[in-house]
Structure formats: structure tokens, C-alpha cells
Amino acid sequence: MQLRFIGCGDAFGSGGRGNTCFHVTGERVNFLIDCGASSLPALKRQGIAPNDIELILITHFHGDHFGGLPFLLLDAQFSRRSRPLVVAGPEGIEARLAQMMEALFENSSRTKQRFELNLVTLLPETTFRLGEINVTPFPVVHGLSGGPFLAYRIEAEGRTVAYTADTEWTEALVPLGRDADLLIAEAYTFERQVKNHLSFKTLEARLADIQPRRLILTHMSDDMLDRRVPYETASDELIVNI
């Protein structure tokens, strides 16, 4: 199984990086984790066919994680996509998607798709079977607007991928990432505490409790990008074999 960082930046494009979007493929899976505003052009630039994607998992409703979805859906409509697409995310995803579609492309939320679009609400600490993957959401802490906020533990093809999404430290991150083959964790700052976000030093202090088999840091601000750390860090177009 392979994961490609389509975009791994923060909301401000620190370091010139794209918004959050991870592409996971295997023998039986082809899905995205988040779909930030810059996702569609980044997918096409990296030679990935959006219409081959079968599932999109959304962690929360901030634009740098969710804002690319209207563009992807509009592209699917005009390129005559035929295969079904599942979009799964926190409670309220149907209303939030309709609101954003209307804000960006008037009347688009009422246009009948040429393909089957299924919206699935994911509830915390409940495992869902979506095609060939099992996904277990964990509640995380990222403020008041743009939620509910979910982190995901994903099992597919004998591998486990965990993603913290955007969050300050919460004990839910321990079972989320424990023994995962790959933990993708926010490290927004190096040690400075920013409300609703995770610092590298806070995460590092608890890694012994999580014990992921592999860790990659993402969603880094300029403060973090200027540092050297003894762990892997994400970059746009980075490909990881799991």
C-alpha cells in the first residue's frame, strides 16, 4: 500500500506547501484523506486521476481540509465520471457540503450528478466499513467552528494508518496511533503552545505511549519548518510505502 502527500501544508501555505490531502492506494483501495482547497490542481499536477478515487475521508470542515471538495465534484461532473464516490466525514457533512457548493458555485448543490454520490456521517469511536477499509474516528480538539473534529485510524490491506488531523494534545491520540504502521501527526509548532494545535515537543513527550512503527510530521508552520528534528517530515509529493 502506498500513501502520497498531495499537500501537507497549513492553512497559510507555509513553505509554499499545498493544503492537506493524502492519497492512499493499494491493490483494492484508492482514497483520499482530506481534500483541502488546493487538492484538485495538485492531484492533476502529480498525474493522479481524480475519477479513479473511490472514497474521500474528511476530518473537519476548515477550508484547508475540506475546501477542495466542490472543485473535485464539479470536475467529476464535467468529465462525466461514472463510478460511485463516497464522501465520509463528521456529523453535518451533508449540510456543510451543500453550503460550500452554493458559496463557490451557485446552484451546484442542486444539480443532479451523473454519478452516484454517497455522503456518510462518521461517529466518534465507532468503526465503519467503507468498501475495503475499516475506519475508526477519534474525537480531537480544534476549537469550536469547523467541527466536529475527527482523527482517523484506518485499516486496509493488512496495514494501519493513523492521522491526528488538526488538534491540540488529547489522550485520544494514544489509542488512535498505538502500534500503527504509519502515524501522520500534526506538528504545527516546535515547542510554542498554540491553542487547538499540536506542537512537536508535546507530541514527542508522549510518543513512548503511542509507539507508532513509523511517524511522519505534517501541517507545519514556518516555526516548525525552520527546525531540524529526528523524525520524518512530510513534503508535497512525498511517496511512502506502507
Give pLDDT tens digits along the chain (242 positions): 999 999 999 999 999 999 999 999 999 999 999 999 999 999 999 999 999 999 999 999 999 999 999 999 999 999 999 999 999 999 999 999 999 999 999 988 888 888 999 999 999 999 999 999 999 999 999 999 999 999 999 999 999 999 999 999 999 999 999 999 999 999 999 999 999 999 999 999 999 999 999 999 999 999 999 999 999 999 999 999 99
- pLDDT at residue 152, rounded to an integer: 98
* Domain range list for the chain: 2-234
- The CATH number of 2-234, from 3.20.20.140, 3.60.15.10, 3.40.50.1820, 2.70.70.10, is 3.60.15.10
Residues recognised as catalytic: 64
3-state SS, one letter per residue, for the chain: CEEEEEECCCCCCHHHCCCCEEEEECCCCEEEECCCCCHHHHHHHCCCCHHHCCEEECCCCCHHHHCCHHHHHHHHHHCCCCCCEEEEECCCHHHHHHHHHHHHCCCHHHCCCCCCEEEEECCCCCCEEECCEEEEEEECCCCCCCCCCEEEEEEECCEEEEECCCCCCCCCHHHHHCCCCEEEEECCECCCCCCCCCEHHHHHHHHHHHCCCCEEEECCCHHHHCCCCCCEECCCCCEEEC
pLDDT at residue 123, rounded to an integer = 97
